[in-house]
Structure 1
Amino acid sequence: MTLKFWLLQLLGWSIFLLLAYVARPSETEVSDSLQFMATLALSGAGMAGSVLLRRVYRGLQADGYGDVRWLGIGLAASVLAAIGVDLGFHYALLLAAGFLPSLSALHEAQPAMSRAPLLAVAYMAWSLLYLAISRQTRLEQAARAQRDLQLALKDAQLQRLLSQLSPHFIFNALNNVRALILIDPELAREHLTRFSATLRYQFSGGDEALVTVAEELDVVRDYLGLVRLQLGERMEYREQVGASALTMQVPRFCLQLLVENAIKHGLAPSRGGGVLEVQVAGQGGGVRMDVRNTGQLRSQDGAGTGLANLRQRLLLSFGPAAGLRLLQQDDCVVASVWTGAAA
């Protein structure tokens, strides 16, 4: 519990203490000091009840009730808390009167439920204030998380503009398409369309932090079509995609980043090339993507800024259940991303 919560608690229940003491019965034979102590005990019991209400409200917030339902819950909980505290204090005072006869007059002057109206008003005011502050806090946290997500996306797009899609790749793709124009104009037109789609996805992706698996696969296929112009038969591509995963959302650029890293660090440097395999399937309410390539995992392969950025965006978008992992399996490097339950 935060310091701010306790400061507000002390302030609010101090005001209640003052009001309850002013409204105390004046015709009893109990001294003012003893009545003050009894009122102080009532305020303490009231504070304990508000802490219990806080636990109830925090437990219910995950259910996403609307404003009207929250208002009804707050009013009902306030009345029940007031009745519970009043009856508890009434019987505690009755028990104390057995040991201290001077409290009998105070107990008789304040029968059961006599304190409940004031307590109910106090709890209703407390509940409305607490729920309003809690809602504002959640809205601020959501807005802050959205801003962080947008900043992470902008950073990812900048990373790709500066390094992921290098001028070397662009020049090679254009030169290969130019050479195809004289040999196979139709194939050259097809690769030029892929090149245009790849550039469009890279440079004009918009502000959408998440895209569907189908969208990510489309741009990966276009990209691989261009890469095949350079690698030719050195690259064997395989793909296994579950139909149910196609509509699931993933961070923009995530699959393409894994594929580009596999080619850049695994297939392109190897004279013999190798196999590139993409596997996508639903898992734990989310999606899991595995990119396998022939090669050896190096210590620096998982330390790039692109992968660090992707880990941050996974955390912001899906929470700690999502993750990214690189590992060596026999003669293959496997890069895995998941957005649901832990892999």
Structure 2
Amino acid sequence: MTLKFWLLQVPGWSLFLLIAYFARPSEASVPDALQFAAVAAVSVGGMLASLGLRWLYRALQADGYGELRWLGVLLVASVLAALGVDLIFHATLSLLAGLSPGLAALYDAQPMISRAALLAPAFVAWSLLYLAISRQTRLAEAARHQNDLRLALKEAQLQRLLGHISPHFTFNTLNNIRALILKDPELAREQITRFASMLRYPFAAGEEALVPLQEEMAVVRDYLSLVALQLGQRLRYREQVDPLALPLPVPRFCVLLLVENAIKHGLGPSSSGGELCVDAATQGGALRIDVRNSGRLATADGSGTGLDNLRQRLQLSFGTRAGLRLDEQDGCVLAQVWIGSVA
């Protein structure tokens, strides 16, 4: 506000100086240089008085005056400021009049209150402009503050939703490792390394809600390696990921949730298991992720806490440009996430 204030203040009062100088009455007995100096002195006084008006308006803004009351304050303050500058100038000029004939002639040619008629409209215009700019500045600051609050709430919602997912994966992984320790300690140590990677995943990159697809696929492979200890040959996994899709952002646990859902409701309960396929493709900067598994939908409408959670996170992060769809096609369940225009 201070920089903008002075960027307008200096040119504005310079313009007032020029207008006041060329609009002055003809005074042949007073040299032009002295007349210009007098107008310049009044302009400087006007600028200093405007600083007092600024202090007054800023002090009164906290009281929340209405528009009509502000108009009354503006008019009274402008008139008083004009009279104050005029009286101070006239008193100063009267003290200096004895120093030279030119100053005496200037004192005689410019009686008291003669400058207030030009200063008062200038202060009114200055006040209206200052209050308008000040109001717009406050509105912009309020809008920025509201936007900051909205972003903070959005981030809090994302972290809350993310926190609901992480423990579920952790408990499943712990159960798999516990069963493995009794069978193959060496393989258990290897899987503990994978489990450690999964534990680090929720806290990587400062707990950001979005991660590159490449990071998401890495944790998916760690998870499937642990699940394969339980399902064995019943799990047949295939993935096809476009290299251009790897750096694109996705919600953390987005693919992992769909993979876990496919195993929990599709492949896991089946005695013969089935095939799990993860495909990711890009088109025009948009991303589509397909997770397909053998089996049938667990519920008629494809709803569930985890999937509803993911839908909320997609909406919070990308708005209407992203979504989740769950369909049953030819004896397979297809979970499809799109981010962008691909759907």
Fold-level similarity (TM above 0.5): yes
Say which SS state the counterpart of residue 191 (structure 2) adopts.
helix
Q: Which residue pairs with 1:223 in the alignment? A: 223
Q: C-alpha deviations, 1:111-150, integer Å up to 9, x for none?
A: xxxx999779646642442243134323322332333322
Give the whole-Å Cα distance in 2 for the aligned partners of 1:336 and 1:124: 55
Q: Which residue pairs with 1:233 in the alignment? A: 233
Give the whole-Å Cα distance in 2 for the aligned partners of 1:301 and 1:179: 40
Give the number of the structure whose alpha-carbon radius of gyration is greater: 2
Q: CA 1:191 to 1:164, structure 2 compared with 1: closer, same or farther past 3 Å?
A: closer
* The one of 130, 148, 171 aligned to 1:142: 148
Q: Which residue pairs with 2:160 in the alignment? A: 154
Give 1:268 shift: 0.4
Map 1:178-327; keep pairs closer than 5 Å. Answer: 178-181=182-185, 185=186, 187-202=187-202, 206-283=206-283, 285-299=285-299, 302-327=302-327
Q: Which residue pairs with 1:172 in the alignment? A: 176
Give 1:256 shift: 0.7
Counterpart residue identity of residue 249, structure 1: P
Residue 155 of structure 2 corresponds to residue 130 of structure 1: no
Give the whole-Å Cα distance in 1 for the aligned partners of 2:150 and 2:268: 41
**Aligned-residue CA RMSD in angstroms?**
3.5
Q: CA 1:232 to 1:304, structure 2 compared with 1: closer, same or farther past 3 Å?
A: same
Q: C-alpha deviations, 1:264-307, integer Å up to 9, x for none?
A: 01110111111111111234534221111111123257322222
Give the whole-Å Cα distance in 2 for the aligned partners of 1:320 and 1:125: 40
Give the whole-Å Cα distance in 2 for the aligned partners of 1:212 and 1:120: 54
Report which stretch shifted further, 239-248 or 122-131: 122-131
Note if contact 2:288-2:342 (Cα within 8 Å) is conserved in structure 1: no
Q: Aligned residues, how many?
A: 241
Say which SS state the counterpart of residue 195 (structure 1) adopts.
helix
Q: C-alpha deviations, 1:6-28, integer Å up to 9, x for none?
A: xxxx95488569979xx9xxxxx
Counterpart residue identity of residue 303, structure 1: S
Counterpart residue identity of residue 328, structure 1: E
Say which SS state the counterpart of residue 302 (structure 1) adopts.
coil
Give the whole-Å Cα distance in 1 for the aligned partners of 2:208 and 2:308: 19
Note if contact 2:74-2:127 (Cα within 8 Å) is conserved in structure 1: no
Note if contact 1:150-1:209 (Cα within 8 Å) is conserved in structure 2: no
Note if contact 1:212-1:248 (Cα within 8 Å) is conserved in structure 2: yes
Counterpart residue identity of residue 136, structure 2: Y
Map 1:61-80; keep pairs closer than 5 Å. Answer: none
Counterpart residue identity of residue 154, structure 2: D
Give the whole-Å Cα distance in 1 for the aligned partners of 2:310 and 2:130: 46
Q: CA 1:131 to 1:138, structure 2 compared with 1: closer, same or farther past 3 Å?
A: same
Note if contact 2:162-2:209 (Cα within 8 Å) is conserved in structure 1: no
Counterpart residue identity of residue 295, structure 2: G
Note if contact 1:152-1:313 (Cα within 8 Å) is conserved in structure 2: yes
Q: Which residue pairs with 1:91 in the alignment? A: none
Say which SS state the counterpart of residue 320 (structure 2) adopts.
helix
Give the TM-score normalised by structure 2.
Answer: 0.59
Counterpart residue identity of residue 175, structure 1: A
